[in-house]
Chain A
Amino acid sequence: MGIFIDENICNGCRGLPEARCERICPGDLCYRKENMKAAIRDQSACWTCACCVKECPVQAIELRLPFQACSNGASLKARLKRDRTIWTVWDAGGHQEEFIIQARRLKGD
C-alpha cells in the first residue's frame, strides 16, 4: 500500500472534470469510480510521492508504506496553505506530530 483513500471523506471532486488526485498523480494511478469516489488502480505502482495527499482539499488521502517495507502502520496527511504546508504524522502507537513548513515565498518576503 502507498496511499489509503477514505471513501467516507472523499467527495470525488464533484463538478470537476477529473478528481484532483486523478489530475495530478505523476504516475496516472488515481481515477474516479462510478460512485464518484477516488481510487488507485495499482498500489504496487505507487511511488509514495504524496502529490495526491497534498492535492486533496478534504484530506481524504493518507500516505502509508507498503506492509513489506514496514509492518507497523504509520500514516501521513498534508494540508496546503498559500505559503506553507502543514503535515500531520501518526506513528504506530497513534501519537500525532505536526509540522508546519514554509513552501513558497509571497511577494515582499
Chain B
Amino acid sequence: MGTMHIDADILIIGGGAAGCFAAVEIYKKSPNCRVVIMEKAHIERSGCLAMGLNAINAYLHSGQTPESYVSYVEREFEGVIRKDLVYTIAQGLNEVVKDVEEMGLPIEKTEDGTYKKRGKRSIRIFGERLKPILAEAVAKTGTQVLNRIVATNFIYDGDRICGAFGYGIRDGKFYVVSAKAVIVATGGASGIYIPNNPGEARHLMWYCPWNAGTGYAMGIRAGAEMTSFENRFIALRVKDVHAPTGTIAVGVHAKQINARGEDYLELYYKHLGGNKCLTQHRLLATVEEAKAGRGPCYLDTTTLNDADERRLKEDFLNMNPQIILLWASEGMDPRQKPVEIQGTEPFVVGGHCQAGYWIDKERRTTLKGLYAAGEVAGGAPKKYVSGTWVEARIAATTALEDIKGVSLEDVDGELIHTEKSRVLTPLTKKSGIFPSEVRERLQKIMDEYAGGISVNYALHEERLLEARRLLKCLKGRLKDMTAVNNYNLVEALECIDRVDVARVLVEHLICRKETRWACYQTRLDYPEKDDSRWLTFVNSIYHAETDEIKMVERPLSV
C-alpha cells in the first residue's frame, strides 16, 4: 500500500458548510495560498446538508442586533454560553448569507427585495442544492479537494499541529498531508446512542449518520481542550422519519397538541412559559405528556389549507424528502391526521448546542496551529448553518494571519509508521469483532447508563460511573476489530472515534452536578439548576499516555 505525501499551506478537514466556506474565504483573501480539503465523502453531497436545507435559522432581521441575538441565545441556554463567540457570529450573519446567495442559493424575498421573514430569526431558502452550490464555489478556487479520504489523526509533534493523516477509501492509499495550519470543520457525532428506529431503519434519523465525531476524536486524542459535551442535543422531530418540526411549527404555525387534542404547553407547562417556552422545554413537555398517559403528541396540521400544504411539502422536499413518503402512505395525509412528534436520541453537536473545541475569539483551539469552525467549535450554540459560515470566515482569517513566517515541517517517519499501522490493523485481522458489534455495544451502554431514549434521557451518578467502566472495557477491545474491505474499515475507524467521544461525554455528564438543560442534561440526583455553583464551563483534556480525562472548569467570561 502506497503513501501519498501532500503539502499545503492550510489544510481543512471536512468539506461541509464550514469547510467549503473557509476554502472560498482563504482564496478571496490570498489566492496563492495552497488549500487542501480532506473529505470523507464527496463535497458535492456530504454531511448534514446532503439532503439540503429549507431555512436559515440565524439571521438578523431589521431591528435586531448582535446584542439582541446574544441575549436570545443566553436565555435559551440557561446563561451558559460564550458571549464573545456568539457575538462575533451574530455580527457576521447577514453578510455570509448574502455571500451564499451570490453563489447561487435562492432565498425567499418580499416585493421590496429584502429577505422575507419566516420566523423571528429565520428566512426561507430553496436549499435542495446548497451543498452542490458551495462545492461549485470551491471549484472556482485553486483548492485541492481530496474526496473519499477519511481523516484519522492530526500530525502532532507535541508543539504544533502540522497536518493530518488520512486513508483513501477508493485508492487504499495512506495520506500524509503536511500543513502550516489546520482548520477542523467536521460534523458532530451521531450514532453514540441507540437510535429511535432499530434494525432495517436504524439510519432513518435526524442527524447525518456518517458524522462520527471524528473531528472531536482527533482533537481529544491530541490533547485539545474540549468544552460542554454534557450539553447534549436531543431534537423534537416527526416520529419515524425525524424530519424537523420547525418547518411545520414555524413554517405554517401548527400548534403542539397531546393525544386529547389539548394545547398541552399552555395547559400544563405554563410555569415553563407555555407556548413561548425554551426549545428544550418543548421536548421536556412532550416527554412528560407521554409519562402522564396523555401521549402521543402531535403538531396539529389538520387546519392547513391547500396552499399551506403545498408549501410545506416543497419545504420538506428541499430538506427531508422522506417525510413526503410518509405523508403519501395510506391514512397519513397531514390534513386528515396531525403529525406525531417525538424526541430523538441524544447527539453531540456544536451547531444546535455547544459541544466542541475550546477556542478563543479568533477560533484558535488550545493546540498551536489548529483552528475550529462550525459544528466542532464549542461554546456557541444556535449558530446553525449561517453561524458556521461566519466561524469559517473568522478561522480562515486567523489561520492566514498566523501562518506568516511558519514553514512546513518534515513529518517524522516513525509517526507515519505508527499511524499507518493503527489505521490498517482491522484489515489485517482474519477474525475478530465486527464494527457493527462495537456500534451496538456502545449504543447499548450509552442508552442504558448515560441517559438515552429508554430512560427518558435522565442521568445519575451511579449509572454514569457504570458507563465509564463499561466504555473503558469496550475501548480495550477495539484493537480486535476486523474489517474485510475499505467500507468496513471506515466503520471500524468510526467506532474508535465514537468511543473516544462517548468517554469524554460521560466524564462531562458526571462532572456537572446540577440540572442545567432539561432533557439534554437532566440529573435525577441533582434536579435543580444551581447558579451559585455551576454558572461555569465544564471542560476536559485527554491525556493519552495515562488514558485519563482531566476535567477543568472555566469561567463564563474569558
Contacts and interface: CB of A to CB of B under 8 A. Distances in A.
A binds B: yes
Interface of A: 1-2, 23-28, 41, 43-51, 53-55, 63-76, 78, 85, 87, 89-93, 97, 99, 101-106, 109
B148 A68 contact: no
A62 B24 CA distance: 34
B314 interface: yes
24 contacts: A23-B42, A26-B45, A26-B50, A44-B199, A47-B204, A47-B209, A48-B204, A49-B50, A54-B128, A63-B322, A65-B241, A66-B201, A69-B326, A72-B329, A73-B329, A74-B325, A76-B325, A85-B129, A87-B321, A92-B328, A101-B128, A104-B106, A104-B132, A109-B106
B328 A69 contact: no
B205 interface: yes
A76 B200 CA distance: 19
B208 interface: yes
B325 A75 contact: yes
Contacts of B202: 44-45
Nearest to A46: B203
A94 B331 CA distance: 14
Which 5 A-B pairs have CB atoms at the shortest separation, nearest pair first? A74-B328, A91-B328, A66-B201, A72-B329, A48-B322
B47 interface: yes
B453 interface: no
Contacts of B205: 47
Interface centre among B44, B126, B325, B487 (most CB of A within 10 A): B325
B348 to A, nearest CB: 18
Interface string B299-326: 0000000000000011001100110111
B185 interface: no
B97 to A, nearest CB: 13
Contacts of A68: 197-201
Interface centre among B44, B51, B313, B322 (most CB of A within 10 A): B322
A104 B106 CA distance: 5
B201 A44 contact: yes
Contact of A91 (B148, B208, B329): B329
A66 B200 contact: yes
Nearest to A93: B330
B41 A92 contact: no
Interface residues of B, number: 49
Given A27-B209, A89-B324, 6 more contacts: A51-B50, A72-B331, A74-B329, A87-B324, A103-B126, A109-B106
A104 B314 contact: no
Interface of B: 41-42, 44-47, 50-51, 101, 104-106, 126, 128-129, 132-133, 148, 169, 197-205, 208-210, 240-241, 313-314, 317-318, 321-322, 324-326, 328-332, 487, 490
A93 to B, nearest CB: 7
B45 A102 contact: no
Nearest to B51: A49
A55 B114 CA distance: 33
Contacts of B318: 101
A39 B428 CA distance: 27
A55 B490 CA distance: 24
B149 to A, nearest CB: 12
B50 A99 contact: no
Contacts of B325: 48, 63-65, 70, 74-76, 89
Nearest to A28: B487
Contact of A105 (B42, B106, B487): B106
A44 B201 CA distance: 6
Contacts of A102: 106, 126
A65 B326 contact: yes
A81 B204 CA distance: 27
Interface centre among B47, B106, B128, B328 (most CB of A within 10 A): B328
Given A1-B200, A23-B42, A50-B51, A41 B129 contact: no
A57 to B, nearest CB: 15
B533 to A, nearest CB: 41
Interface centre among A28, A73, A92 (most CB of B within 10 A): A28
A48 B128 contact: no
A49 B204 CA distance: 9
A23 B148 CA distance: 9
A103 B129 contact: yes
Nearest to A17: B170
A31 B260 CA distance: 48
Contacts of A45: 202-203, 209
A101 B129 contact: no
A89 B310 CA distance: 13
B397 to A, nearest CB: 27
Contacts of B204: 2, 47-48, 65-66, 69
A70 to B, nearest CB: 5
B330 A72 contact: yes
B203 A44 contact: yes
B328 A105 contact: no
Contacts of B128: 54, 85, 101, 103
Contacts of B326: 65, 69-70, 74
